[in-house]
Amino acid sequence: MELPFGPTSEKQRMMLESKAKITIVGGAAGSGKSYMMTMHPLQHVGDPRFNAIFFRRTTQQVSGQGGLFDTARNMYSQLPKSIEPRFREKDYRAIFPNGANIKWNHMEHESDRISHQGLQLI
Ligand SMILES: Nc1ncnc2c1ncn2[C@@H]1O[C@H](COP(=O)(O)OP(=O)(O)OP(=O)(O)O)[C@@H](O)[C@H]1O
Ligand SMILES: [Mg+2]
């Protein structure tokens, strides 16, 4: 499927095409890390069982203007209508028509990890 957006740097391309289970990437402010990570799960949302979760330290980094949720909403609203997700603000979730799910969450305190124990996430 031809998407209206895609990688614009070699780093983004490498990251999107990587088959590694764990990829670590850095880069200067504004170098496209968040944008790339928002594109990344779209490779898998054709699978109705797909569940992904993104963590930032604080909720503000998720929900603020220009935060990851906002970035995703702007990007995913460009998808063809048949696969465009609806965005649920109350729990920062994108729900695709086939049931695939992407969620954004904070992970501020060490104890926050307990809330996510046992989830089946890819
Ligand atoms: N592949 C792309 N296509 C279109 N726009 C892009 C692409 N990659 C990055 N951008 C644009 O570049 C800007 C900076 O990207 P992004 O926010 O992802 O950087 P960042 O590395 O996460 O920065 P920071 O470290 O400040 O969080 C954004 O406004 C984004 O829209
Ligand atoms: Mg960023």
Does ligand 1 come within 6 angstroms of the Cβ of 32? yes
What pTM did the predictor assign? 0.93
Does ligand 1 come within 6 angstroms of the Cβ of 1? no
Number of neighbouring beta carbons within 10 Å of residue 39:
21
Cα 90 to ligand 2 centre (Å): 22
pLDDT tens-digit series, residues 3-47: 889 999 999 999 999 999 999 999 999 999 999 999 999 999 999
Cα 85 to ligand 2 centre (Å): 22
